[in-house]
Amino acid sequence: MARKSLNELSGIAKAIADSSPQAKDRTAKTSAPALGALQGSLTAIRELDPDLIDDWGPKDRLDGFTTVNSEDEDDGFRSLKSSIEEGGQQVPILVRKSGTAGRFEVIYGRRRLRACRELDLKVRANVQDLDDAAALLAKGLENAARRNLSFYEKARFSAVIQAAGHDTKTVRQVLSLSASGLSHLTKVTDNIPEDVGDRIGAAPKSGRPKWTALAEAFIAKKVNASAAFAMLSKLDTALSSDDRLEHLLREIARRGARPSEGREVTPVAGVTIKSGRATIAMSIKRAGENAAFAEWLDRELEDIIKKSYQEFTAVNPEDDTRG
């Protein structure tokens, strides 16, 4: 793509092009491949057999920030399919050649590809030579330009742009962020495991406060990935992503609640357990009606605690999602 055509790109694309780490060294052949893919040239548009196009990309990195907001996916696909059937495919998909001769990989446009496949039609495709990083960025740019991203989608998008080799200045330009705004997004992606975010979804109605609260819960070790999954798995599958986030936050708060004052109980005569904010202490009288029990407990307590700890860790494995 010639340098001149960069000026014709959208603001989002131009921001990436201008601040790309390789911007100064580009040649006409390799200039901003991810951005050129957004616009493409007429010579790159081909009609392909849908059966020659394979899926591409790690799902959690692609769909995690571009299609997690999918509560209305079924209705949207039906409308898209009807539109293509009646008026033809107006917007090409983006593909690249695969490692297998004669085959291609879809970068974005999976729904259009699926619709053409079901309608037994050739699919119009923009064929570009992209590496993994450029392909990932192109997919993100196309989706960001197509619709408004939720707060969480922006967070995931910003992380992927940086992972593709672009600096924080680029991220801020693409998403129109202040330095503090990017910091809020980074706090979320650095502390909420991606698979937990995928399980929740885009939560389009939930902004920074709720996602930040969840990030802070992970930071404070009030919850880990396995515990979050357990909480989310109990929810009705029909709940929206916003409701899933809300329920998770409530459950974390409920489990983390502690009485403001310490408590003291006597489960059996001569045994007292004191529970405070910082410690749990137990005292046992060696005299009185349960003196014999006290002597037995003195001998067995170490083994009892070890056994109880093994039972606890068996059902509460340490979270290794974040170091």
CB atoms near residue 51 (< 10 Å): 8
What secondary structure letter does DSSP report for 165? T
Q: Which two tokens stand for residue 208?
A: 């920074």
Q: What value does the CA radius of gyration of the chain take, rounded to a whole number of Å?
A: 27
274 neighbors 264 (Cβ within 8 angstroms): yes
Q: Above 50 in pLDDT, residue 321?
A: no
Q: What is the pLDDT of residue 119?
A: 96
Ranked by mean pLDDT, which of 155-159, 194-198, 278-282 comes out on top? 194-198
Q: What is the pLDDT of residue 275?
A: 77
Q: Which two tokens stand for residue 91?
A: 């917007």
pLDDT for 239-297, tens place per residue?
A: 999 999 999 999 999 887 654 456 777 888 888 888 776 788 888 888 888 888 888 88
DSSP 3-state of 98: coil
Find, among 57, 59, 319, 314, the residue nearest to 193 by Cα.
319
Question: Residues 6 or more apart from 157 whose CB is under 8 A from it?
Answer: 65, 66, 140, 144, 149, 174, 175
pLDDT for 139-148, tens place per residue?
A: 767 766 666 7
Could you tell me how many helices (H) and strands (E) the chain has, helices first? 14, 8
Q: What is the pLDDT of residue 58?
A: 41
Interval 109-131 mean pLDDT: 92
212 neighbors 186 (Cβ within 8 angstroms): no
Q: What is the pLDDT of residue 57?
A: 58
Q: Above 60 in pLDDT, residue 154?
A: yes
CA dist., res. 144 & res. 13, Å (int): 10
CA dist., res. 184 & res. 203, Å (int): 16
Q: What is the pLDDT of residue 106?
A: 92
DSSP 3-state of 285: coil
The CA-based angle 2-99-116, given to 5 degrees, is: 80
**Among the ranges given (33-37, 72-76, 89-93), the one the predictor scored with the smallest mean pLDDT:** 33-37
DSSP strand E in the chain: where?
Answer: 45-48, 53-54, 93-97, 104-108, 123-127, 263-265, 271-275, 280-284
* Predicted TM-score of the model (pTM): 0.52
CA dist., res. 201 & res. 233, Å (int): 13
Which residue in this structure is represented by tokens 């390799």?
A: 30
- Considering only residues 63 and 323, tell me which one the structure prediction assigns the higher pLDDT: 63
Q: What is the pLDDT of residue 243?
A: 95
